Amino acid sequence: MFDGVAARYDIMNDLLSFGQTKAWRKVATGIIAPKKGMKILDIAAGTGSSSRPLADAGAEVIPADFSQGMLDAGKKRHPDLKFTLADALKLPFKNDEFDVTTISFGLRNTTDVHKALEEALRVTKADGRIVVVEFSHPTNPIFRNLYMKYLMGLLPKVARKLSSNPDAYIYLAQSIQAWPNQVLLAEKLSQAGWKNIAWQNLTFGIVAIHIGYKESK
């Protein structure tokens, strides 16, 4: 499915989010605080739009994704990045290899969230962090109702007009609606072994950034 939307994926995301993806990415980059000497694994990196600012700040970044189509599109746009074909449930990396693992808008697309979070923990160094950027649940009931109407009503209609694969965006809307809220995702992180879980809501809770730490040995 993602192979089929790779060419226009970033453009469609910007359109359907009314340009908010860039702002969300900027906040996430600030939380990760990339710098020279830091090694970061960007899981479900797609075309590398989340990896680019991390690399530009001097960090060593590996954009990893399960979709070859996404990787191919990313290599054309960012030939200097080390795009790697990888399954989030069985990462091809050593234990304790990365200072930070991050995943943006990809965790809900895995078939086993617990396993994906455990794998991220395995490849993260002691005292390292995970930064999960994912759609969540708006905290205001009135705004949440309006958002869900857009998500399940208007978004699929817009996708049908603008995308060559509208079914992919209908799936994405459904997956967002079914995704756990902020508290439940924090519990999933804790169950996978991450410690000191915290989160920050963006755009009234449409998106939440969760941060967790790997315990010292």
**Which tens digits make up the pLDDT trace of 159-186?**
666 555 666 667 777 788 889 999 999 9
CA distance 9 to 43: 17
CA distance 19 to 38: 29
Instruction: Please report whether residue 161 resides in a domain.
Output: no
Please list the residues that pair with 129 across neighbouring strands.
100, 213
Which helix or strand (DSSP H or E) is residue 116 part of? helix 113-123
CA distance 54 to 28: 10
Residue 3: what pLDDT?
45
Is 21:14 a contact under the CB 8 Å cutoff?
yes
Residue 20: what pLDDT?
76
Instruction: Please report whether residue 119 resides in a domain.
Output: yes
Residue 165: what pLDDT?
63
Residue 109: what pLDDT?
87
Instruction: Please report whether residue 12 resides in a domain.
Output: yes
Mean pLDDT over 43-72 rounds to 94
Residue 75: what pLDDT?
94
Band of the pLDDT at 198, cuts 50, 70, 90? Answer: very high
Instruction: Please report whether residue 118 resides in a domain.
Output: yes
Mean pLDDT over 94-106 rounds to 96
Report the chain's mean pLDDT, rounded to a whole number. Answer: 87
Instruction: Please report whether residue 173 resides in a domain.
Output: no
Is the confidence at residue 199, as pLDDT, over 80? Answer: yes
Is the confidence at residue 9, as pLDDT, over 70? Answer: no
Mean pLDDT over 188-212 rounds to 96
In this predicted model, which residue has the larger pLDDT, 33 or 179? 33
For the ranges 44-53, 109-118, 159-168, 194-203, the lowest mean pLDDT is seen at 159-168
- pTM to 2 decimals? 0.87
Q: At what angle do helices 9-16 and 155-162 cross, to 10 degrees?
A: 140
Mean pLDDT over 29-55 rounds to 96
Number of domains, the chain: 1
CATH number at 208 reads 3.40.50.150
The boundaries of the domain holding residue 100 are 2-139+181-213
Is the confidence at residue 126, as pLDDT, over 50? Answer: yes
The β-bridge relationship of strands 207-213 and 98-104 is unpaired
Residue 134: what pLDDT?
93
Instruction: Please report whether residue 168 resides in a domain.
Output: no
Residue 147: what pLDDT?
75
Residue 174: what pLDDT?
79
Q: Where are the beta strands (DSSP E) in 7-144?
A: 39-43, 60-65, 84-85, 98-104, 124-135
Mean pLDDT over 39-62 rounds to 96
CA distance 59 to 64: 15
Residue 166: what pLDDT?
60
